[in-house]
Amino acid sequence: MLALVAVLALVAAAPVPDDELRTAVHELRTDEAVRPIDLARSVVELRTEEHRGTETTLTLSADVLFAFDSAELTAIARRQIADVAGRLADSVTPVRVDGYTDSFGTLAYNVILSQRRASAVADLLRPAAPAGVLVSARGHGSADPIARNTLPDGSDDPAGRAINRRVTITFGDQ
């Protein structure tokens, strides 16, 4: 042990020739390391609303509603769903809650996860629905993507996958 300490002290004290230092230092090419961000694809709307006649469909990002691989609603999700629940008072048609995942994971697992997520949202909406108005929940897994999960070269598309992870709530107004 003492001999090792002595060798380390000698190595630390020995000067390093300039030519060795020059070959050990490499130029950093930042133009190759920095990539632009496509803001249009990187910013995901957390909630969108679409109207078709008397029917309204709200789409909520699952990334806001749930933690990764979870069907437990976040505090933010509970506030969002409470806001939606307030709008159901005038609903006269069944309320549909549909859950979707991205393409990661097996088809069977994604269907189960999306069903659990849709059920969690529907469970919060049921007490707000008018008497006699059914609130149903259905998980679709990675079916019906609204964005691509992979880029044209086959590599992962995180922004597209984020868009596909969603819960939709559809209800009718008078």
CATH code for position 160: 3.30.1330.60
- Alpha-helical (H) ranges within 14-106 are 18-24, 30-33, 39-42, 62-65, 75-86
Gap between the Cα atoms of 77 and 69, Å rounded: 15
Domain range for residue 94? 48-172
The tokens for 43 are: 């910013």
Question: Mean per-residue pLDDT for 22-39?
Answer: 63
Write the DSSP assignment of 102-139 as a string of letters.
-SSS-HHHHHHHHHHHHHHHHHHHGGGSPTT--EEEEE
At 14, list the tokens. Answer: 């020995």
State the average pLDDT over residues 25-29.
Answer: 64
Query: Cα–Cα distance between 167 and 71 in angstroms, integer?
Result: 11
Q: Is it the case that residue 77 has pLDDT exceeding 60?
A: yes
- Which of 28-42, 77-91, 113-127, 156-170 reaches the highest mean pLDDT? 113-127
Does residue 24 sit within a domain?
Answer: no
* Rounded average pLDDT over 144-158: 90
pTM flag (> 0.75): no
Q: Could you tell me which residues come within 8 angstroms of residue 119 by beta carbon, excluding any fewer than 6 positions away?
A: 71, 97, 137, 139
165 contacts: CB under 8 Å, gap ≥ 6: 61, 62, 63, 100, 101, 102
Residue 40 lies in a domain: no
- Is 151 part of a structural domain of the chain? yes
**Total domains present in the chain:** 1
Nearest to 55 by CA among 143, 169, 145, 140: 169
pLDDT-based confidence at residue 103 (cuts at 50, 70, 90): very high
Counting residues of the chain whose pLDDT is more than 90, the rounded percentage is 42
